[in-house]
Amino acid sequence: MKVCKFGGTSLATAKTLELVKDIILSDPERKFVVVSAPGKRFKDDEKVTDLLYRAFDEKVMTGTCKSTMKLIRKRYIEIRDDLKIDFDIEKYLDEVQEGINKSEDADFAASRGEYLSGLLIAAYLGYDFIDAAEIIKFKIDGSYDSEITEDLVAKALKNKEGVVIPGFYGRKPNGKIKTFTRGGSDFTGAIIAGAMKVSIYENWTDVNGVAITDPRIVKNPCFIDVISYEELRELSYMGASVLHPDSVFPVQSANIPINIKNTFEPENPGTLIKNKISREDMQEYPVTGIAGRKSNATINIKKAMMNNELGFARRVLSVLERCGISVEHIPTGIDTMSIVLSEKGFEIVPEKKVIEDIKIAVNPDCIDVAHNLALIAIVGHGMARRKGTAARVFTALAKADVNVRMIDQGSSEINIIVGVEDSDFETSIRAIYDEFFGD
Ligand code: ASP
């Protein structure tokens, strides 16, 4: 059994839906289909979910969502007509319009894109429709309730042959619809995959998988064939946007691989994400992916005999904890300690106050803050216990005339983090990519 989740671009028009149908029907294992709302049809088009949020805003301002709903109605009716199916989508559109006009928060409106999409696609495929509100549950505080949900999903989908489930939303105990954060249909797919213990979770999108690095920086980067959950987490944390961040856990803990595939090139194997990377999966390259983020700062602290002062690091870190600021890295020397943090930390508590508090806590000889640090993670299982990867990274950066301001390597040896000036960020990513993947 497989779960396949289709993203918005795969569901944007009748034409793309024809491709989706071919994909689903070409493999009898594809029994559970999770759908997003129709996405963009062209570059400046609007996603249905964005229109629905706008419909709610219109209702708040004018008392009715009528004029934005007109655009939404047009999209669904057009898809239905182009598919040439006999399905009364107007009835559901009327219900949705009425529901938004009565609703108190945006979640109900936002969720209707997936709801309508699910109904339409179930009719088109001849599959059953199961409303996510009946099986995906939230607690009253708005957090996702995994225990109840897993049970309900397993019961509802047992022995079912073909089911369409809308992604992105569920229901709270008070009956209200609640959505996940944006992109949350990935999470719904992962929940269904985990609860049904399927053999694979297929996540169908509009590219050939996870790119080795950001395509906005490196033109047409290659795609990753196989990546571990651990590597993916490192890359996502450093800014690579692949899947909704919550969607890894339900499948990783059930040891189910995710296959990211391209609806528009279904024969391409895409990227396989799994728990353990076997020797034969291990790529010929030591590096799997490269990601990074700009706008970090370092607090540099100097104090003679720091290494003899018991509890020094704890006192510094306690200050940051009290401020609610999280720490990225802590490179240390004998008498120096640096704290790397996102510049956003100083939006929580102003820089001046943080520095004053550290001064009070540890009485340093010298303390200053450096700004504009970009962090780049070079990630790969292949580099563990293999010589020369770090040398290649630093040679590539030196050749590109980039000064390295910070170096950190995790103990698992699957990543090397380098810190460079924000202004050197793109040059550095390109230099490292070319070193390992250039021709
Ligand atoms: N349609 C929602 C969004 O645009 C959820 C999703 O597609 O996953 O964020």
If you measure from the C-alpha of residue 11 to the centroid of ligand 1, how many angstroms do you get, rounded to a whole number?
A: 12
Counting ligand 1 atoms within 8 A of each CB, the residue from 34, 36, 45 with the most, and so the one to mutate, is 36
The response to whether residue 8 sits with its C-beta less than 6 Å from ligand 1 reads yes
C-alpha 36 to ligand 1 mean position (Å): 6
Cα 278 → chain centroid: 25
Residue-level pLDDT at 281: 67
Residue 136 has what pLDDT?
98
Q: Which residue has the tokens 């992916």?
A: 289
Ligand 1 within 6 A of 247 CB? Answer: no
**CATH H superfamily, domain 289-437:** VC0802-like (3.30.2130.10)
Question: Which atom of ligand 1 lies nearest, measured to the CA of 185?
Answer: 8
Whether residue 184 has its Cβ less than 6 Å from ligand 1:
yes
Q: What is the whole-number distance in angstroms between the Cα of residue 182 and the centre of ligand 1?
A: 5
Residue 154 zone, left/alpha/beta (φ > 0; ψ -120 to 50; rest): alpha
Candidates 49, 108, 179, 192: which one to mutate for ligand 1, based on the most atoms within 8 Å of Cβ?
Answer: 49
- Ligand 1, atom 6, lies closest to the CA of 183
Using the structure block, give the residue that is written with the tokens 């290494």: 307
CA–CA dist 188, 113 (Å, integer): 14
Q: Which fold has domain 2-206?
A: Carbamate kinase (3.40.1160)
Closest CA to 376 of 301, 433, 436, 434: 433
Q: Which two tokens stand for residue 295?
A: 């706008």
Contacts 24+ apart (CB under 8 A), 150-157: 150/191, 150/194, 150/195, 153/191, 153/192, 153/195, 153/196, 154/195, 154/196, 156/130, 157/32, 157/130, 157/192, 157/195, 157/196
pLDDT for 439 equals 81
Would you give per-residue pLDDT tens digits along the chain (439 residues)? Answer: 999 999 999 999 999 999 999 999 999 999 999 999 999 999 999 999 999 999 999 999 999 999 999 999 999 999 999 999 999 999 999 999 999 999 999 999 999 999 999 999 999 999 999 999 999 999 999 999 999 999 999 999 999 999 999 999 999 999 999 999 999 999 999 999 999 999 999 999 999 999 999 999 999 999 999 999 999 988 988 888 889 988 899 999 999 999 999 999 999 999 999 998 776 666 667 899 999 999 999 999 999 999 889 999 999 999 999 999 999 999 888 999 999 999 999 999 999 999 999 999 999 999 999 999 999 999 998 887 778 999 999 999 999 999 999 998 877 778 999 999 999 999 999 999 999 999 8
For ligand 1, whether the C-beta of 36 sits within 6 Å is yes
* Phi, psi dihedrals of residue 290, rounded to the nearest 5°: -135, 125
**Which structure tokens are listed for 103?**
């609703």
Residues of the chain with CATH 3.40.1160.10: 2-206
Q: Cβ distance 124 to 85 under 8 Å? A: yes
The reply to whether ligand 1 has any atom less than 6 angstroms from the CB of 113 is: yes
Ligand 1 atom 8, closest CA: 183
DSSP character string of 330-341 = --B-SSEEEEEE
Closest CA to 416 of 397, 439, 437, 438: 397
Domain with CATH 3.30.2130.10 in the chain: 289-437
Name the closest-CA residue to atom 2, ligand 1: 183
